[in-house]
Every structure is written in C-alpha cells, then in structure tokens.
Amino acid sequence: AFLCGPALLTAWMFILGSLGAQSETPLLRLDLILIGTGVLAALGGLIAWRRARTASVSPAPAATPLAFDERLLIGLMGLALIVRWFVTAYWPFIAYDTLWVYGYQGRLYALLGYIPNSIDYYPQMLSLQYAFGQIAYSGVADHAARAVVSFINLGSTLAVYTLGERLFTRRAGIYAAALWTLYHHVGEWSRMGDLEIALTSSFTLAAVFFVLAQRSYRPGQ
C-alpha cells in the first residue's frame, strides 16, 4: 500500500498535469485528484473483495516469539526511521535533488496547476508526491510536501522484509530489512525520499511476486 498507493496517485496526477499543460489549464486541483484516486481505490477494493470471496484461505500457523536479536534489530530500525522522519521534517532542503528535482518541481506544479512543457524533467513520481502535499496544504509548504517521505522509507523497509520473509523465513526478512534500513547510504538518500528508494522497493516486491509465482506454478493449471 505504501508503494502502490503513491504510484497510482502520481500516475493520475501525471495525466491531469499533462492534459492541463496542453491548454495551460490548472487541472492539478485537490478535488480532481481525490476523485481519481477514489475511483482507483474503489476498483482496487472491488478486486480484493472478489478475490477474497473465491480464494481458499488456510489457517495461519502460530507465530513463534521474537528472539532477542530480532527485537533489537526491529528497535534499531524503528529508531532509524524516527530520526530520518525528524531530519526530513525539520531540516532545510540543502541537497541538489530536493532543491531542484523534487522540491522545486513540486512547488512549480502546485503553483501552476499543471506540468509545463518548457523545462527539462526528472521522473515525476517524487515531484508529484511533493506537489500533492503542497496542493493539499493550499500553498507552498515544504514541510507539508515532505510528509510523504517517511512513508516511502517505511515502505522500502517493509518491501525488503517481505523479500526475506516470503522467500526464506521471518528471521531472514528481519535481517534483510535491517541491512537495508541501517545502511548509511540508504539513510542519506532517505532524507529526501530519493527516487532510488522508491524504485528499489518496487523492484524488490516485483521480484518477490515473480519468484513466488514461479514456485507455485503447476503445468496444466
């Protein structure tokens, strides 16, 4: 949800912003954004409901208690996410990506109401998420724009945990998530929600999906 939700939100915003640019009409408005995301959420809920009605669910095995080192790693990851949230929320934009790529473009889209054709661009996912925070706030507010960054960081940690847990064991998932979350370069990139964090998370979950699909494949079914 932390990864697919922002992806669908920004895909819809990209459509609105691109259409608005053709006639310089501010279509990046909160009402239009929420209507589109509401429709997408309703479709997703309908699909999930239909699958839940037809899928056979086996009872989950009883969970074993967490070992001391597992609890320690979870605590360290939680502390790291809190520190990064604090830095993201209160530290000024000083990195190139946030000064120009994400921060500036997000403000530009929020002020104009569309994605202009007159400047060069970086992939839009982060810029449009920053813009959504500005639009929802009804004004240029970097603190509001940065609110999404903590969710991206948490989503990346959960994605790596899912990789280890689904392919191996819960313990492997916790260690994999800890290696990712506590790696110092990830901490640096996570300050502004760098695109590498979001894309790595998406590729990680895609890898989990395809490996599990291959494992469960039965010829003739």
Per-residue pLDDT tens digits for 166-196: 989 999 999 999 999 999 888 888 877 788 8
CA distance 150 to 81: 7
CA distance 88 to 150: 8
pLDDT tens, position by position, 110-160: 999 999 988 777 778 888 988 998 999 888 888 888 888 888 889 999 999
How confident is the model at residue 180, as a pLDDT?
95
| Per-residue pLDDT at 57 exceeds 70 | no
pTM of the model: 0.84
CB atoms within 10 A of CB 81: 17
Those residues whose C-beta lies under 8 Å from the C-beta of residue 89, and which sit 6 or more positions away, are 143, 146, 147
Give the pLDDT score at 58. 66
Q: Which residues of 119-145 are buried (b: 16+ CB within 10 A; e: fewer)?
A: eeeeebbbbbbbbbbbbbbeeeebebb
Assess contact for 124 and 10: CB atoms under 8 A. yes
Contact 196, 208 (CB under 8 A): no
Do the beta carbons of residue 136 and residue 181 sit within 8 Å?
no
With bands split at pLDDT 50, 70 and 90, how would you rate the model's confidence at 68? very high
DSSP string across 120-169: ----HHHHHHHHHHHHHHTS--HHHHTHHHHHHHHHHHHHHHHHHHHHT-
